[in-house]
Structure 1
Amino acid sequence: MRRVLAAALAATTMTAGCVSTAEPASDGSPETTAPRIAWGPCTDIERPDGEPPARQDPNVRCGKLSVPLDYSDPGGEQLQLAMIKIPAADRSARIGSLLFNFGGPGASGVDTLDQAAKALSSLRARYDLISFDPRGVERSSGVRCGTGADLDAFTALNTLPPGEETRRAIDAANREFAELCRRDSGKILPYVGTVNAARDMDRMRAALGDEKLHYVGMSYGTQLGAVYATQFPGNVGRMVLDAPLDPSVSFEERTLAQTRGFQDVYESFLKACVKERCEVGNTVKRADENVEKLLNDLAAKPLKVGKRELTQGLASTGVASALYSEVTWPFLETALGQALKGQGGALLYLADTYTGRAEDGTFSTQMTSFPAITCVDSAERPDEATLRRTEEAALEISPLFGSEGSGGLCGVWPAAGDDEAKRVDATGSAPIVVVGGKNDPATPFEWAPRLTEQLGTATLITYEGEGHGAYLSGSQCVTRLVDAYLLDGKLPRQGATCPAA
């Protein structure tokens, strides 16, 4: 889990395309007014679950917006950002546009909004729902690093047993991966950070014709929203930040907090499993021992799954993937039960959903955009002593999830980083709503009050349930409070708390 544990939201495995490009001014000269988006029909393949994509609806539109590669040279080379729009159902009561970022960093907003459209029907009634692939993600000059086979090797790398041999293998893999990213995407790597993505969002606001930016950010999207509110406080409309990151934490602090979060949720999963007949074991202790033995066995001898293999690294990724939502715990139980009997297909499927691997062996940019954005968002480059201290402390917390975190890969990353995206202060902005979950494995609750305080204009809702993200968790309480703000401008009371769904 050393490479992917910190990812906040698994990318979808769907690959798709949008048509339409940004239009120049009518005389062909560069734009001198607000940027424009030329919306047109979307083109797509069918979703893996067989359901027709929302964007097959003729009312759903796709488009692209031109933004500078380098904002210090606004007239220079341009990037094309892919966007999607699901128009408001009640045009007479339309509030405006509502922009979403669903997390990552590296998840495709175009794909995720497509899949989440039904769950957002209350908001669609009065908003045009908008999302996008941020710079460096998928259709927006997505960061690419080698072939599918290269990524298969990288994601399959074992993280057990802890020790010098495993560390050397991981270090070599990190260096090789970073070199592939430099070779294949070197030009864009310095420019994919959150500060530039926030600038892009203000161009979207202007292109959409909105005076204020109404926004919902989830997971990494909370950092993006917070940075936007810091840069453009006067342009903030109704903003909700769900499953918040604390952008000020170091790589070491982030790694230890997330390791603790995943271990806590893993233990909750085991307790829930053994309340009834559990395929993993009949007690928490026995179930934990069985999983530990499974992973150690896989480190020595992977399970064959067709033409592929379930390694310990992939199995650990699969376990983490299913801990993001309580809804997937039953599937995790089944997957672990089957793997204990020598059948690794279900656990491998969970790993693939996390890493963005499709059945044909291609990958989304989740695994490549994530480190690209993470590493340029920080000037921190941990030395060997810091990495070993982090790893040892994390392994004390959790033998299953303990790692050196993202610091090892960022230490060899081919683009420099800076700390501008770590500084948050939204003084002067409209009120912002932050939603933090008490049992969120990927963005531990402790980060929610911290981000709320840093923003200076925010109100916190506490959700007491399980899972990563509260708004789409099924909690009617959270939905009611968030919708009341987004639709009617009604702020939740200070100290608002929602019970587990």
Structure 2
Amino acid sequence: MPVRKALLALPAAFAVAVAPAWSGGTGAAAARQAPPLAAPAVAAPGSATGGKGLRWEACAGVSTPDLRCARVTVPLDHRRPRGRTISVVISRLAATDPARRRGVLLTTGGGPGGPGVPLPASLAPALSAEVRARYDLVGFDMRFVERSTPIGCGQPEEEPGGFWVRPAAPGRFPAEAAEARRYAEACVRASGWALPHATTANAARDMDLIRAALGEEKISYLGGSYAGLLGTVYGTLFPHRVDRFVLDSPVNADTIWRPYEMGRTPAFEEGTVALAAWAAGRHSEYGLGETPAQVRAMLIEILDRAARAPIVIGGHAWTAGELGALLVAGIYDERAFGVVAAAFAAVAAGREPSLPFPIRPPRPEGVPGVPADHHTATNIAYRCADAPWPRDPRVYLRDIASQRDRHPLFGPVNANINPCAFWPPARDEPVRLDGNRAPAALVVAALRDVAVPPSVSRAVAARIRGSRLVTIDAHTHAPFPHYGNACLNATVTHYLTTGELPAADTAC
């Protein structure tokens, strides 16, 4: 039987990169959570106020000479602060006007699993001179990401998009469940010492040790997608340390991860319709079909072919997973429509597609010790440890059947079993957004966002009392600042430089 569901729900970091840049059921376990553990707000070992005790040096894998890096030592287990330690690497671009400097603007990558050390260098040219004058831009690789004690799962290469997912092909569930179990067991063999501690809450506790190491009373923050989620978790644990927070298309901590993945399935379907309509209007250029229905059918036919057997073109065997990753990259951002349509047209004609981005995350150049499957391993580690996942395979089978009827293209994939069903228990508790008592934040969203639908960003803004939501009418993800909307960028700039939020939610 043809397999029409080999599509990937990619982590947000992938979409940002190509656009310009998971014991029991979930409900009862979450309801019994203990109060969140907050790390003591003290400097990390070897640090000092003002960051003077940090050793600043060149950043591995980054060519920007003004960007300097340092290591902050943090506990592997924040419940045992005097036990085993790991290091988290931070980077810094100094504020351009020391006389007007307000403090630090912290940032990191999405995903989870995207690097943050290089971000100050790429953000600086896109930020206003007023923001650059007032803030040191500080990036960091979260625990277990790239420069920060990286982990792997013993696999020879990354998964497409750096995200473990299988197509929920009819009749294939036992084999896919067995593969998920084998992957989880391999991760335990390779990095079992780290897996219970790979949580967003621990990354937030690391953030507060970074703040202390830099000698700051409070921090400002800019986080997109998953990194926006991390910002809300930090605000929940350390509300008195929050200064000015910009949460761009933030994931809702109350729904991670399985409810969130399944909840955004309709947006994936809508994104495919948008891509198909765009390509149909350019049939003379791409030849994928004269109507959206014809384009969609062509995309499915290509995926079906690849699911039966990889499509060999120019010495490369294109798998359904790789082509699914390519399709999701397209539906995440309208600026990728042309690249993705051209690639599928090339595959349909037997020509080698030309892509400006890799389908599988590459190893970071100049960063030693990063395992071959690092980004996939880190992404799945955080998703599995952040919140409980169903252990009963019947839950997944039920949801697959339900989703197949309602959302046949993406529903079964997003509902399918994955290694989290077999993951070792985390030594942490979920930190829910409904406990957030941080100062008001500025929340940003695009109205046709597929990766984080705008309803999710609205829910985050509503949970953090007094926050304001700024939206743009665009089919993109995490739009500040690179999408280039002048109204949006000016609103964020005004907030970062003055601390004044809009009087009401704003549509740019």
Q: TM-score, normalised by structure 1?
A: 0.85
Amino acid at match of 2:489: T
Give the structure 2 partner of residue 21 of structure 1.
none
Does residue 1:207 correspond to 2:217, yes or no?
no
Report the Cα offset of residue 351 of structure 1. 2.3
Per-residue Cα deviation, 1:207-262 (whole angstroms, up to 9, x for no partner): 12221110011111121111111111111000010112122126553233222112
Q: CA deviation at 1:419?
A: 4.3
Tell me which residue corresponds to 2:344.
336
SS in 1 for 2:474: strand
SS in structure 2 at match of 1:411: helix
**Residues 465 and 116 of structure 1: is their aligned pair in 2 closer, same or farther, counting only changes over 3 Å?**
same
- 1:7 and 2:24 are equivalent in the alignment: no
**Aligned-partner residue type, residue 246 of structure 1:** N
- Confirm or deny that 1:107 pairs with 2:114: yes
Contact 2:330–2:340 (Cα < 8 Å) also in 1: yes
The question of 1:449 aligning with 2:458 is answered: yes
1:356–1:41 Cα change, 3 Å? closer
Counterparts of 1:206-285 in structure 2 under 5 Å? 206-249=212-255, 251-276=257-282, 277-279=284-286, 280-285=288-293
**Cα distance between partner residues in 1 of 2:166 and 2:253:** 29
- Is 1:496 aligned with 2:506? yes
Q: Report the AA paired with residue 443 of structure 1.
A: V
Show CA shifts across 1:118-162 (max 9, x none): 2235433331111111012112122201132475899798626x2
Deviation at residue 289 of structure 1 after TM alignment: 0.9
Give the aligned partner of residue 18 of structure 1.
Answer: none
Instruction: Measure how far apart 1:383 and its partner are.
Output: 2.2
Aligned partners of 1:420, 1:272: CA distance in 2, in Å? 41
CA gap 1:394/1:419 in 2 versus in 1, 3 angstroms: farther
- Give SS of 1:9's match: helix
Aligned amino acid, residue 163 of structure 1: P
Q: CA offsets, 1:306-343, max 9 Å, x none?
A: 55411111110111123222221111111111111123
Question: What is the 5 A alignment of 1:427-466?
Answer: 427=437, 429-466=438-475
Answer yes or no: is the 8 Å Cα contact 2:184–2:423 preserved in 1. yes
* TM-superposed deviation, 1:494: 1.4
Q: Is residue 104–residue 366 contact of structure 1 (8 Å, CA) maintained in 2? A: no
Report if the CA contact (8 A) 2:228-2:250 is conserved.
yes
Paired AA for residue 83 in structure 2: G
Q: Residues 132 and 406 of structure 1: is their aligned pair in 2 closer, same or farther, counting only changes over 3 Å?
A: farther
Native 8 Å contact 1:2 1:406 kept in 2: no
Secondary structure, counterpart of 2:12 in structure 1: coil
CA distance in 2: counterparts of 1:251 and 1:174, whole angstroms: 17
**Offset at residue 201 of structure 1 (A):** 0.7
Q: Is residue 2:125 matched to residue 1:118?
A: yes
In structure 2, relative to structure 1, the CA distance for the partners of 1:425 and 1:453 (3 Å cut) is farther
- TM-superposed CA distance for 1:391, in Å, is 2.1
Separation in 1, partners of 2:274, 2:119: 28
What's the offset of the Cα at 1:406?
Answer: 7.2
Change (3 A) 1:475 1:394: farther
1:358/1:341 CA distance change after superposition, 3 Å: farther
Of 388, 392, 410, 1:379 maps to: 388
Measured at CA, do residues 189 and 250 of structure 1 come closer, stay the same or move farther in structure 2, by a change above 3 Å? closer
The alignment status of 1:483 with 2:493, answered yes or no, reads: yes
- Identical columns (%): 29
Aligned to 2:40: none
> Does the 8 Å CA contact 2:439/2:465 hold for their aligned counterparts?
no
CA distance in 2: counterparts of 1:253 and 1:294, whole angstroms: 29
Q: Tell me the secondary structure at the aligned position of residue 139 of structure 2.
A: strand
State the distance in 2 between where 1:188 and 1:295 align: 36
Paired residues of 1:377 and 1:422 also in contact (CA < 8 A): no
Measure the CA separation in 2 of the matches of 1:327 and 1:405: 28
Is this contact kept in 2: 1:390–1:404, CA < 8 A?
A: no
Note the 1:387-398 alignment, pairs <5 A. 387-398=396-407
Residues 61, 3 of structure 1: alpha-carbon distance in 2 compared, 3 angstrom cutoff: farther
Pair 174,268 (structure 1): closer, same or farther in 2 beyond 3 Å: same
Distance 2:75 2:302 in 1: 49
Q: How much does 1:388 deviate?
A: 1.9
Contact residue 376 and residue 416 of structure 1 kept, 8 A:
yes
Quick check: 2:196–2:425 contact (8 Å CA) kept in 1? Answer: yes
- 1:77 and 2:84 matched: yes
Question: What CA distance in whole angstroms lies between the structure 2 residues aligned with 1:320 and 1:152?
Answer: 11
Moved more, 372-381 or 31-40: 31-40
Q: Provide the C-alpha distance between the structure 1 equivalents of 2:489 and 2:447, rounded to a whole number of angstroms.
A: 16
Aligned with 1:58 (options 65, 79, 97): 65
CA distance in 2, matches of 1:295, 1:95: 52
Structure-1 residue corresponding to 2:54: 37
Counterpart CA distance in 1 for 2:64 and 2:356 is 33
Q: CA deviation at 1:62?
A: 1.1
Aligned residues: 469
TM-score norm. by structure 2 comes to 0.84
Looking at structure 1, the residues matched to 45 and 67 of structure 2 have their Cα atoms a distance apart, in angstroms, of 28
CA distance in 1, matches of 2:250, 2:382: 17
What is the Cα deviation at residue 185 of structure 1?
A: 0.8
Q: Retained in 1: the 8 A contact 2:6–2:307? A: no
Instruction: Indicate conservation of the 8 Å contact 1:12/1:111, yes or no.
Output: no
Partner of residue 96 from structure 1, selected from 89, 103, 119: 103
